[in-house]
Structure 1
Amino acid sequence: MEIGCFVLCVSGWILVCSTMPTEIWTWSEVGSIVLTTSNYFSNLWKDCISDSTGVSDCKGIPSMLALNWDIHMCRALIIIAIILSFFGSILVLVGMKCTKIGGTEIVNARVTFAGGMNYLIGGMSSMVAFSYYGNKIRAEFQDPSYVAQKFEIGVGVFVGWGGSTLLVVGGLIYSIFAGREGCQSRYDPKIYWFFTHL
């Protein structure tokens, strides 16, 4: 079960990492004539446009100070999720029963629990970022008073939701099962009973 859960969490981490360079977080198609259709798409780092021939031109966001606070928040949450999940992978590798790196079983369980919590917190922070970003796009798209270019949710957000879900599920499984083993007393129950009934 530990190896399967590890594969689940690493897959989620890879999916969340893959959303960073993905250009299509939002997209919009504009065109009055079939031959001159333009596609606008963007992510947290750049805005792009492509024409019907497939040629795309991307422009990085020029100033960090000119960005809205919500883009900064999404960037920070996703970077935090990637870092926490990386350290979660290291902790889980050290604490798994099949690696034999750590000390006793209780110590290994506690290290695995810490790795599971890293996965869980990382998954929750990336889920908040992707959900906020997706909800913002949805709200702007459905708002009749919003007069600027309307975008739709792109593939990057959906991949991020999938990766975040894998991180949360894997982190919960690790935290529950390793937490049970890590909370067991390392003392002999007979001695513990003796001292508590004096």
Structure 2
Amino acid sequence: MSVFPAMQKRLIQILGFLVSSLGWLFVLCTLAMDYWRTSQLGGQGGSNVIKVAWYWSNLWKDCYTDSTAVTNCRDYPVLWNVSYYVQAVRGLLMCGLSLGFCAVLCCFIGMDCTYLGGTDQIKDKLVFSGAVLHFVGCISDLSAYCLYINRIVRTALAARVGPGVLRYYLGPPIFLGLVGCFLVLFGAVLYAVTVLRIIFPGRTAAQVNNGGTFMPPAPTEFTGYYAPSRLNGSYVGSGRPNSKISRLSQKTPAKISERDAFV
């Protein structure tokens, strides 16, 4: 039996679908966005023309923009020549997005407001599977962002850097991706709370006055008040256990009198 009413369960699942799908789209957008890391040089001086340059990068290229708004970019070379952390971030994000796409399909088919997926038990299992996939995909996306943040912050907060090394700072795609991960995780929790008690029901037990629990016995073949036990000469009733059956109720052979035999 469901913990939530039918209408309330549908509204929670619809909210979870919208929130998790929006978070998945946020993560997808960050994969193609610019300005994952930014750095600025110049911008101050005594001349009339202020010279400033911006260096920024994403997962696919490094770019340079000067004060005249001219941008020059250098695309990353083949896969095996890219920095290891950039490759790891790409792989983790793609893995998380793939799992999230499968989760969106499972949850859409398993929601109560759709007429797909079969019986209610199968639909609840699909919703729970989608919640698990959302959670795993969120962990993969979050690991990718944390790896990139660690690489940037380690250089930005270093006491000294080598010659020609720029101190980059985090750009908007990182924060948008973190918000997307939070939305995906929140949507997975909304999915799970609607079907968790249905898929994994707790043990039902009636509480008695002494604080213990009473489990109803398994049904037997005899349901009457005096249900005979498996032992000959005993019965199960309101009397004492192992009490013998009365002799009056036993079938005894009747003796034939001499007068009846003569007749």
TM over 0.5: yes
Which residue among 139, 150, 156 is the counterpart of 2:173? 156
Deviation at 1:18, TM superposition (A): 0.4
Per-residue CA deviations over 1:50-73 (Å, capped at 9, x if unaligned) read 122323222210132122322111
For normalisation by structure 1, the TM-score amounts to: 0.89
Point out the structure with the larger helix share. 1
Identify the structure with bigger relative contact order (alpha carbons < 8 Å, sequence gap 6+): 1
What secondary structure, in the 3-state scheme, does the structure 1 residue paired with 2:31 have? coil
- Identity, in percent, stands at 27
Deviation at 1:3, TM superposition (A): 0.7
For 2:187, the equivalent position in structure 1 comes to 170
For normalisation by structure 2, the TM-score amounts to: 0.68
- Would the aligned equivalents of 2:13 and 2:190 in 1 still touch at CA under 8 Å? no
What secondary structure, in the 3-state scheme, does the structure 2 residue paired with 1:58 have? strand
List structure 1 segments (4+ residues) > 3 angstroms apart after TM superposition.
193-198
Distance 1:75 1:194 in 2: 58
For 1:74, the equivalent position in structure 2 comes to 89
Backbone CA RMSD of aligned residues: 2.4
State the one-letter code of the partner of 2:167: K
Which residue among 3, 6, 9 is the counterpart of 2:14? 3
Deviation at 1:173, TM superposition (A): 2.4
Deviation at 1:195, TM superposition (A): 5.3
Deviation at 1:2, TM superposition (A): 0.7
Q: Specify every segment of 5 or more residues in structure 2 that has no aligned partner in the other structure, as ranges.
A: 1-11, 203-215, 222-263
- Would the aligned equivalents of 1:84 and 1:119 in 2 still touch at CA under 8 Å? yes
Which residue among 29, 38, 42 is the counterpart of 2:53? 38
Distance 2:29 2:220 in 1: 57
Q: Specify every segment of 5 or more residues in structure 1 that has no aligned partner in the other structure, as ranges.
A: 186-192
Change (3 A) 1:84 1:29: same
- Would the aligned equivalents of 2:35 and 2:173 in 1 still touch at CA under 8 Å? yes
For 1:188, the equivalent position in structure 2 comes to none
Distance 1:85 1:106 in 2: 22
Q: How many residues align?
A: 193
Which residue among 107, 131, 143 is the counterpart of 2:158? 143
